[in-house]
Structure 1
C-alpha cells in the first residue's frame, strides 16, 4: 500500500493539511471525499486535478467518495469568483450531473476490491428539508462573524455577495457532517481555494458531533506563464470527446510549455516516482518525448486505446511525410471530421459533384484555395495539386461524387504543406 501523503509530497500536490491526518492515514483505511458541482456539461482537465487526488487516494488503499453537487450546484460557490455566478436551470444541472456521473464511472473504480469508490448526490441531504429546518439545524452552527472571515467571502465584500452565495459554506459544511455520519468520512480534500469551505465542514463536525475531522488541499495548478491550468487558447479542454476531440486533447499536452511538463507529469501520471525520474534523466534533452509519453498515457486513460490509435492516424495524415492514399482512405468519418477542424476547410454542396466538379471551378470559384483559374492551371502544371493523394494532371479534370470519402469529405493539397478539406453537404 502506498503512503498517500508521501505520494502527494513527491508529486508537489500537497498544499495544506490539518495535523493528525498522518496518524489516521497510517492506522488503516479511511474515507475521504471531494465535491463537484455540475455547473458545466462535462468534466474538464481542470477537474481532473481533483479526480487524480481521489485516484491516488484509492490506489493507496483508502475509500474515495465523489460528492455530486445536485444541491450546491443550485447555489453557486463564490470561491475564486469576483462576481455572482449565473444560476443554471434545474433541468440543465440534472442533465450535467447525469453526464458527469457517467464520466466518473470510467475514471474511478466503483466496483473492485475492498475500497470501491462511492457516489453520493448532496441533493439527497436537503430534498426533504424545509427552510425552517435548515435555519435551525444548519444555520445555527456557524456565526456570521466566523463566515465573514473566509477568503471566499472577504474577497467579495467590496463588489457584493448575495445571501445565496454567502450560504454556500453552510451547505458544504453540512455535507461533510452528513458524510461523516453516513459513511464515517473523516477527510475532505480539494483545491487550496476551498480551504475555507472545507474547514467550515470540520467545524460542523466539531460543534454538532463533538468529533474531529480533517482536511487536505492541493496547490492551484498554474502554467509556466502564470495562467490557470485547464484551458487552451480556444477555451476549456473537456473530457467529453464530443466537446474536445481526443486529437485536440492529445495536442494540448504536446503543445504544452516545456517548463510545465515536469509538474504536469507529477500531477497526472500513474507511473511510480522512480520510473518518472528515470524517464526524465533519459530524455533530459528531449522534452518533446516527455510530452508525447504524457499525452499518450492520458489520452489512453481518458479516451481509450482505440481513440489513441485514431489520434495517431490523424497526426500522421497532418504531419507525417509518408502518409499516402491508402492511409487517407483508412480514416473513418469521425477522423476526417477531426482533420477538417485542424486544417482549412470549405463547405460545398454535394450537387457540385453530381456530374463531376471541374477542378478549376472547385479550387477558384467554390473555395478560396487558389485565387484564380490561372493560378489553378499553373499549380497543376507545376505538379502541385492532389485530390485524395492523387495528382491532378489537367485543369479540366472532373472530380466525381465517388471521390467524396464517406460521401462527404475531399482532401486537396497544394504542394507539400498546404492541405485543405472540402466538406460536401446536401
Structure 2
C-alpha cells in the first residue's frame, strides 16, 4: 500500500508540513492518532470542512485513527483567522446544538465503530481551566511578539484585536497538548490558514513535555482565480440538505469552471488518479462528462447515492429533457404572489440578490419563464403561467427553479 502522505501529496492536499521527511516516515512506520478541530460557529459544516473530512478519511483508510475535535471550548472565543471583524459570541445552547449537528455530518465520512475514530469536545478541559494556572504553566511559553507576527493577528491589528481573540492560539495549542496526553495524538491537521495555530501547539508540546509532535496543513479549496470555492448567491455551500439541497449541491459542482475540474476530482472524490487525470484532460464540450462525474461523486459522498442519483436525474430533466423536475429547487407561492411582479418573486426567494440584478438580467435576456425570455422588468405573473400547478424560472443557462401554486 502506498504511503498515505504520498497519496495526499499527489492529490494536492498538502500545503505545509512541520517536517515532511519525519511526518512521511511516521505515517509509514506507525498507525498514529491525529486530529482536526471543528469550531461550532454555525449549525452545519460547509464545503471547506468537506475537504478536511476527505483528508481525514484518506488517513483513516490507511489505518490511522482520527480525532474529530469539536470546539465546545474554543467556540466560546472564535478563531480570528481569516476574519476582518470579531466573530459573533455564541451562547452555550448554540454551541451544544451546533456540535451535535457536526457530529451527525462527520459520521458520514469517518467510521467511529470499534474505536476506529474518536469524537471529542475541547470544552471538557478548556472550561475547567484555572486562569492563573494557565497563565503560569502555558502562557509563559508564548511570545507576544511572535504571536503578533502571525497572519491571523497581524491582519487584525489595525482594525482592533480583542484580548478574547488573542487567547485563541493559546487555547488551540493547549488542545494539542491535552490530546497528546490523553490519546497519544501526534499530528494536527487543518486548513492552511491554521498554520500559526498548529505551529504553536507543536512548540508547546516540545517545550512542556520534550516530545516531538507534528503539524500539516491542507491547501484551501480555491478557484483558479484564487477566490474561495463554495460561495453561492445564497451564501455558503452547506453540507446540511436543509440549508443547501442535494440538487443545488449537485448543480454547484456541475457548473464549476473547466480549469477547476481536475483539482476538485482529486481533492473531493476517491476516484483513482489515473481516472482523475483522464477526466481532467477532456476539452471543450467533452469536459461536461467530467463535470457530471464530479457532481455525482461529490453529492454521493455528502448526501448518499440515492440523493445523488435523484439530483443527477433532475438536472438532466431540467437542462436536457422535459425542462422540469420535482427535485429542482422549489418555492411555494401564496395566492397573492401568483399575480405579483416577477422581479419581486425573484428577490423574495433569493433567485437574484436584488431588483437591480433582476432588471439587468432581464435586459440581457437572462431570465426565462416557462421557456419564454422575459423582456419587460415590469411584467407580472399570471394564473395562466401555472398550468399543471407550477412554473419554471431559469436564471441564465445553468440555474432553474420551480414555482408552485400554494
For Structure 1 versus Structure 2, the TM-score category normalised by the shorter chain is 0.7 to 0.9
After superposition, the C-alpha distances for 1:246-301 in whole angstroms (9 at most, x for unaligned) are 000000001111111111111111112223224445x4451111110011011111
* Residue correspondence of structure 1 range 76-225 to structure 2 within 5 A: 76-111=78-113, 116-225=116-225
CA–CA distance in structure 2, aligned partners of residues 243 and 294 of structure 1: 21
Aligned CA distance change for structure 1 residues 289 and 422 (closer, same or farther; 3 Å): closer
CA deviation map 1:47-75 (0-9, x unaligned): 11111111111122211111111111110
Residues 1:8 and 2:8 are matched in the alignment = yes
1:179-215 deviation line (CA, Å, top 9, x unaligned): 1111111111111111110010011101111101111
Name the CA distance, whole Å, in 2 between partners of 1:385 and 1:156: 49
1:374 paired residue number:
none
Q: What is the rounded CA distance, in whole Å, between the counterparts of 1:228 and 1:385 in structure 2?
A: 34
> Any idea what SS the aligned residue of 2:156 has?
coil
SS of the residue 2:217 aligns to: strand
Equivalences for 1:13-412 in 2 at 5 Å? 13-19=13-19, 20-111=22-113, 116-281=116-281, 283-285=282-284, 286-322=286-322, 331=326, 335=327, 338-341=328-331, 346-348=333-335, 366=339, 410-412=389-391
Map of 1:423 onto structure 2: 404
What is the CA deviation profile of residues 17-36 of structure 1, one whole-angstrom value per residue up to 9, with x for unaligned ones? 12221221111211111111
Residue ranges of structure 1 left out of the alignment (5+ in a row):
350-361, 370-383, 387-397, 405-409
SS at match of 1:35: strand
Task: Pick the structure with greater CA Rg.
Answer: 1
In the aligned structure 2, how far is the partner of 1:130 from the partner of 1:269? 44
How far 1:346 moved relative to its partner?
Answer: 4.0
Q: Give me the whole-angstrom Cα distance separating, in 1, the residues matched to 2:61 and 2:118.
A: 14
For residues 422 and 55 of structure 1, the distance between their equivalents in structure 2, rounded to whole angstroms, comes to 39
The runs of at least 4 consecutive aligned structure 1 residues that moved more than 3 Å come to: 278-281, 365-369, 419-425
When normalised by structure 2's length, the TM-score is 0.81
Q: Does the CA contact (< 8 Å) of 1:221 and 1:228 recur in 2?
A: yes
Tell me the secondary structure at the aligned position of residue 161 of structure 1: coil
Give me the TM-score of the superposition, normalised by structure 1. 0.77
How large is the RMSD of aligned CA atoms in angstroms?
Answer: 2.8
Instruction: Find the aligned partners of 2:102 and 2:205 in 1 and give their Cα distance.
Output: 28
Aligned partners of 1:339, 1:238: CA distance in 2, in Å?
15
Partner of 1:390: none
Residue segments in structure 2 that go unaligned for 5+ positions in a row:
343-368, 372-382
Contact 1:348-1:422 at 8 Å conserved across structures: no
**1:14 to partner: Cα distance:** 1.3
**1:309 Cα offset (Å):** 2.8
Question: Which whole-Å CA distance do the structure 2 matches of 1:159 and 1:24 have between them?
Answer: 41
Structure 1 residues 205 and 319, CA, compared in 2 at 3 Å: closer, same or farther? same
CA contact 2:48–2:220 (8 Å) conserved in 1: no
Change (3 A) 1:149 1:316: closer
Deviation for aligned residue 1:151: 2.1
